Structure 1
Amino acid sequence: MSVPQAPEPSDSLTNCFFTIRFLSRIRRRLRLKSPNKDCKPAEVAAEPIGTDMITCEEAKGDHHDRDGDRNWMAALKKSVKMLHFGSWEEKEAAARDMKKLAEEDVKRRRTMAELGVIPPLVAMVGSEVAARQRLAVQALIELANGSFTNKALMVEAGILSRLPNNMSSLEETDKRELAELLLSISGLANSQFPLNSSRIIPTTVCILESSSSIETEELCLSTLYNLSSVLDNAPILISTGVVTSLTKLSSVKETAEKSLATLGNLVVTSAGRKALEQNPTVPEGLIEIMTWEEKPKCQELCAYILMILAHQSSLQRQKMAKAGIVQVLLEVALLGSPLAQKRAMKLLQWFKDERQTRMGPHSGPLQVGRIAMGSPLSEKDAEQGKRMMTKIVKQSLYKNMETITRRANGDASNLKALVVSSSSKSLPY
């Protein structure tokens, strides 16, 4: 087969025209040369023509890509029409198609949103028919994936006002999918987009408290963490009683880290701190979590929360001391992560200097000014308290050092004499 030579026109427009005709002629000859479907790349004369040769497979690929785009757009237009003007059965079928079409890539999800598919899908979420509601939620989850604009359009279309009120009637799968959609929308919390949290928070808390699935609980906890990062949302969160749920879930190792992270966001507010102080499991529950050696992040978060509670309340410091926090802090200060060690040693310093230390801005989190740590009634009481604290520190240090020595299979016979002969002033904090 002889290949025609490319022309060499002087004018640029003419050059472009002849190039297009030249490539079209090459494609036509290749298709005629290889009529079978499984054709091989055509062999042409090794003459330079100024561009790569086009194979049969490449020609087929371009053709299939164009056909795929046309088929996708045709299917989308049909689904959009049914979604807007069809019967309920057609709307359900369209929502099912929307879910499949939206799974492909972000660009196509944006195209779907531009065609106005989000408002009718949001309207279906408020349907009393469970199957219809489920299809709409599934389609919206795919449309929200990776698209800030689509999430904002859902909120503007009123998705938060369409959320179901009765979570107990939903199946666990429906709760999980609804929690997944709420998590996606909660990503708007830290943006400039105005997200009304008065509806999304109660719904998320309701799903959290009614769910029996760890996966659903983790989705809800992630949503609450996103929302709690905005301090203005703290009053709404606390008014739902979420602190009780969070402290309960923090004692479960699978959900502890996300629960503690949310509590860490809430405790910096006066309302959150008060709610934690009034919780009957605080501080004992947090102290227990600090013994989880396999969960260093949980130890760090617990130490942070306890630092804030101890800094603000002498009553909480007394409760912590009675619950045996000093021994736990010593162990964390010796075996914990670098951040947990730092926080544990700071807490130990506060307990050690309870009588005479004045806490300045450097002595505790999120405070400015000087606050008295203790208020002894007399010098006699102060001295007695000092002796008691020194005794506690020595006993706790001895027990922890003995535990560490046993773990290392060392000899603990000389350890007791070493610890008893040392004073509290020699502690590394």
Structure 2
Amino acid sequence: MHPRLTSTPAAATVFTMVLTQGPVSRVEIAKRSGLSSAAVTKAARPFIEAGYLEELEATERTAPGAGRPASPLSIRPEREFFCGVKITHEELIGVVTDLRAQPLVSAHRPLATTSAEGVVSALAELVAELLAADPAYGERCHALGLAVSGDVDKAHGVVRYSPFLQWHQVPLARLAAEATGLIVTIDNDVKSLTVAEQWFGDGVGTSSFALVTVGVGIGCGLVVNDRVVAGAHGVAGEIGHIPVGRDEPECHCGGRGCVEAIAGTAPLLAAARAASGDASLTVEAAIDAAHAGDPAVREVFARAGHAIGLAMAAMANLFGPERIIVTGDVPGLASYGLFEEQLNRSFAAQAFGAAADCRLLLRPRSFEQWARGAAAVAIQQHFTLEGAPLPGLRSAGSEATGATREGSGSQRPRRLTK
């Protein structure tokens, strides 16, 4: 990315509006953003000259009876590529995406160790493999996004604490940049997925929404007034650590009764084993037993749904999102149907007033989509000014939402195999 293209608020506004809502005419950009037509033209020109934007054939007039038809601006999605990697305690999942965060190729790499040095070494190998899939990737991919669970200091590129990796104060951005030669942005994995939904998914057209993830942990990303909320310490939205179980059970965070200590994969499996009397029960077997009607195991999933529903209601009462997107990994989402009824019931009972009308959307996401979230954060870092909200989403309407669906990630990426 040319370093001067998004050096002004007008440039960032114009480009991100076309990226997330385009194709869109200059006249419409001016209307939605409040910029003058001259300012829009001036801001768009360098992007057109650098090959990031193109003018499509004129399709509409600026106004009834007006002069020549408007020529919509559109993104050239393969002008630049981005690499995104989701880091788990078991493996790395990586993708290369285009400018619209559409995954083009993906690969997995198991981890032999969770030490920072071992993970970074495996990361460098995975990135090299991904970029070698097409000569264009190596030529036009300069940025890497990393998504990690836990407490991540995005501004300083440091993983302050990741419970599943057992990392403390790891300068991941610097280590990864040295190993790959790319510009590296790191963020919490749930916040990364939230950015992808805000820019290219079910959050488009919504000023305030929440993303709740169900799986190994229970996470939440928040968007308020078009901004992803990180909070003063970068941990805003941690509904997994809202206490809903009184004094029990103990959570890995040191607290007690946390949602995550009840509904996370590991504690849920432990409870299912205790309820069934089968110490060898797997998560998949627990899900099968519950679907088959085992009342004790079904009660375990209902308790998890109750805990998540209470936490979601508390969050909805606090900031009143227009919608809550519920997603997660496997087996988290595979078990969703088992606690969906209880989750909805507990949410409706605890949500105050009109907060109970908040729309709940179930959106299963593969791990490749979490890696896509990491790439989306890298895209955002490149094309917006730090701290600036995504402009004009509420005024975009259904037309903008439809336009961005092409890049929503529904198409499966090409999978690299050994």
Q: Do they fold alike, i.e. is TM over 0.5?
A: no
Q: Which has the larger radius of gyration?
A: 1
TM-score (norm 2): 0.21
TM-score (norm 1): 0.21
Q: Which has the higher contact order (CA 8 A, sep 6+)?
A: 2
